[in-house]
Structures are given as C-alpha cells and as structure tokens.
A and B are shown apart, each in its own frame.
Chain A
Amino acid sequence: MPVIPGTGLVKGLGITLKTIIETTKPKKFGGGAATVQYPHEKELPPIRSRGVIALREENCTVCMLCVRSCPDWCIYIEGHKEKAPPRRAGGKPRTVSALDRFDIDYALCMYCGICVEVCPFDALFWSPEFEYSEPHIADLLHDKDKLGEWMETVPEAPELEAGADKKKK
C-alpha cells in the first residue's frame, strides 16, 4: 500500500497531543505524569543502585586491596597491629590488624564499585542512599563511623540463580 506523504507527521502530532491529555488527566482516571515531585514525594531507588558505599567495620582486615584498586585514590585506610589472645590455651598470642581510619572521599569517588568487588571479606556494600550532598566539598570525606551508619540502608541482596552463594550483609 502506498504511504501518503505526511501521515508520519500527523502521527507525531497525535502522540504529543495524547501525552498532553494523559498527563493532565486527573489521577483517579489513570492520568498523571511519569515523574514525581522529588522533595515532596520520593521514589525508592532500584535495589542495586549505586548510591553510597557502606562499611561493615568488623569484617575489615586492613588488607588495603580496596585502596590499591581504587582508580581515584579516594579511600584512605590506616591501621595497626595488635596482639590478640591465642586461640588455644598456652598458645602464642595472635597478631591481628585493627582499623584506625577508613575514609572515603565522595568528592573523588566515581562510583565504579571496584572496591566493593575486590573486597575479599565482604566489608564493603552498595547502598541506594543518595541524599548526602554537602555545601562544602571537604565535607564529602566521610569517616568509618558515617560509612558504618549507612550499613542500615543496605538492602538484602537479591536472590541469585539456584545454587549460587548470596552475599551476606
């Protein structure tokens, strides 16, 4: 069938007109915008969204893998060795690493997630929390207490395919 010239143009006008009508229709008739008015109403970000990196401090062994893998050098870790009581009575005291400082500079972070991937002890997690802007750029350097608070916002890891290990929080 031959196409009449201009039908596509009319169709385009029809689509925009239909969208106007659908957006301006009252909510109870199935209308409304696709967007939300952000500060007044909030949408939950998707479960895997990369909002902020949270830290589970007790899992960290100060292995420095995250620091070395960070492309932006935005992770700062300082630690020291400590003597811990031996596992068995009469044994030699163990040497463990204690975390003194774990800072992430979110002014530098590019949210690549390599640190989360590389962490061998499940100490770093992605959280969908995104409302942590600051008026001063230096205030975006967050310490381990702040990173630990964000652990509460980390969602349960989604179900994986059968037989795979789920990442524990």
Chain B
Amino acid sequence: MKLRVVRARAERFGGIVEVERPRALLHVDRAMMRELGHPESPLWREDAGTDAPLSAPTEVHIVLSRRCAAGCSGCYVDATPHGTALSLDEACRILDELAAMGVFHVALGGGEALELSYLFDVAAHARSVGMTPNLTTSGLGLTAADAERCRVFGQINVSVDGVGEAYRRARGFDGFARAERALRLLRAVKQEVGVNCVVSRTSFGNLSAVARFVRDLRLNELELLRFKPVGRGANLDEELTPEQARRIYPLARWLMLRHRIRVKLDCSFAPMVFWHRPSARAAAFWGVHGCVAGDVLAAVAPEGHLMGCSFAGATTIDARVPSAVRAAWPSAFASFRDFVRTAPEPCAGCEYLRLCRGGCRAVAEAHGSFSDPDPGCPRVQEWCARNGARTSVRANRSSFSLPVVRG
C-alpha cells in the first residue's frame, strides 16, 4: 500500500500533505517533507515549535448566500428567500486566491447553496484549482439530476436535526421526508454522504433516532454540531443544559458503538470533551481542537468579508479583492490567536488549554465577551461555582444563566 500525496505545502513544523485514499490531511515534520521530495522552505529556517498560526487555513467555509426559502427558526446566518449572495465570478475569484494560498478544502454552504443556479460551477471551479469542495445542504429541493451532479463534491452532509416529528420541532417546519429523499438520492451516487445534526436542548433527547437513521441509510458519518446562539438562534432558548453538556461526549461514544457509525463533534464541543480528560497525546494526533478560527479555519461571508469562522470574527478584509486575504492572513485574527497566551482563569490553569483554546469564541461573544472562557464548558461552570463568579445573561436566555468568568 502506498499513500499517494495529491497536494502538499510547507509549514514551520514541516508541512501538511493531502493523501487521496484514505482521504486525509497529514501534518508531518521537516524530515518527512524532505523524504517526500519537497523543496526546502524558508519557513523551515524559523523555530519549528512556535505557536505561530498556519501559513494559510487548511479549510475555508464559503457562505455562498444568505438565501434560503426554508426559514429555519434557528438559522445562524439569518437566511431569507431573497438574501445576499456571492456571484459566480466573485466566488471563483475567492477560490483562486485560496488555492494559491494552499487551502485544501472548501465547505460550501449558506443559506441554501442548492438554490443558487451556479453552485455546481463554483464546485467545478474549486476542483479545477486543486481544492476539494464539500457541501452542506438541507436537501429540500434536491432532484435526481442534482444528486448526479453532486459527484463533484467530496463530503456532502444533509441537515437532519431530528427524525420525523422531531425534525419539525427542531427546525420549525416539516421537511424530514424531503431530507430523507435527498439523502437516498445522494447515497445512490456516492459514498461520502452524511448527516449534520444540530444538538440543542430540544434535539438532545432524539440523537439516538438520528444515529439509527444514519446507520439504516448506510451514511458515512453523523456530525453533531453544537447549537450556537447567533443569527436567528440568538432568539431561542436552546443551548445545552449543564447536564447535557456533561453527557454529550459519552453519548457520542455510545452512539458510535451502538450503531457502528462514525460520529464527529464540531470544534465548539471541545470543552465538553476535554472535561472527560481524554488522552491529550491522542487528541493532539487526531487534530482534536477547540477554536481553530483564524488558523486552521476561516470563512467568507456572502458580502465578501473574511471571518475567523462562520459564526464570529468578521473583519473588514474583502476576500473578493485579489491578494487581500493572502496579505492580511499573517496578522489577522489576533483576538482568536492570542487566546491561549492571554487566557483568563480557569482556562489559564487548564492542562488542555492548548488543545481546547477556551472553547467556542462565538458562544462566548454571544454571552457578552469574545475573550471570556466558553460559558458552556463544564470546567468553567465548576470553577465559577467554587469561586462565586457570575455574570448577567440576557433575559431571553434566563434558563441558561451560567456563570461566566471575567479575565
């Protein structure tokens, strides 16, 4: 067996190589880069152990539009039927720039990306410049012809926040049958099809049914995404309770073993995972991190702004302007990148700080301060309970009156 390297780029520690089968990104040291025949990089003259960010993100989420007819009650981009969208030309220009920087993957989403007539042209362009396009969709309007064209994507995940009636309760409309049909159409043409499930206070109790659904349709992954109180979600009282936050990691493990499916938790769940004290060495090797916005990850808004991630860190940098992202990247996102160095307690004293990075910045920002520890972290909650620290939480989120630490 030989792992075929399809793309590689140098980093201070060595480099990142993309292999095709199994599809993976591998961080390797300088010696391995040399063994693989990569030319010497100026980056290798710098300190390999530095905490400096990557030379470019490995993945970028392009929010193609705020356009979607579904009207989900918790939509984080506040999408509407006539929302803003990047044009095909703008999207292609952004892709050109990202490819030149060495970005490996782009995640296309919205809004509902399938509502854009040029979605497949955008995906084809990403392929043509060497990046893997991936897609998140509600699947609501997907036709058999669309499914066939979806071969151009790497991974496609369809949003299913509950099975049957639970879908309606979670999203505010009855779309489960259409989402299931989309999944069946997609699975008929490709293997890399999975489910995204937003884990909210309401949907938490129905995760087993979603996992069974993923198994029954022979999908390749279930990705559990933490509910974040941004966009229209800011008006909902759906953040996990402290008890649910403690249970999510054991539950994900149980779902994986019970249904024999691949289960992933998004980066914002990192504090809930590290509270269970997993092996830090294993976590580092498998790339288990908290907030990697402005480092591993970046996002582009439909208005063209570069962001740390799709939920937070909007900048004034216009990604549609040639070379703007490349020029800004080394010094942008200081507020994300400095968190580990400047973290307040209890993050400062946490052995997992360099991995967890203080949890989700978007959630912290939604609760009052971007630079606070994540208020959903069980460790933060325990620390605050011991120290009597507490902060006011907006009235409409009174049932999530968790204490937040001020640095």
B is bound to A? no
* Chain B residues with a Cβ under 8 A of chain A: none
Interface residues of A (CB under 8 A from B): none
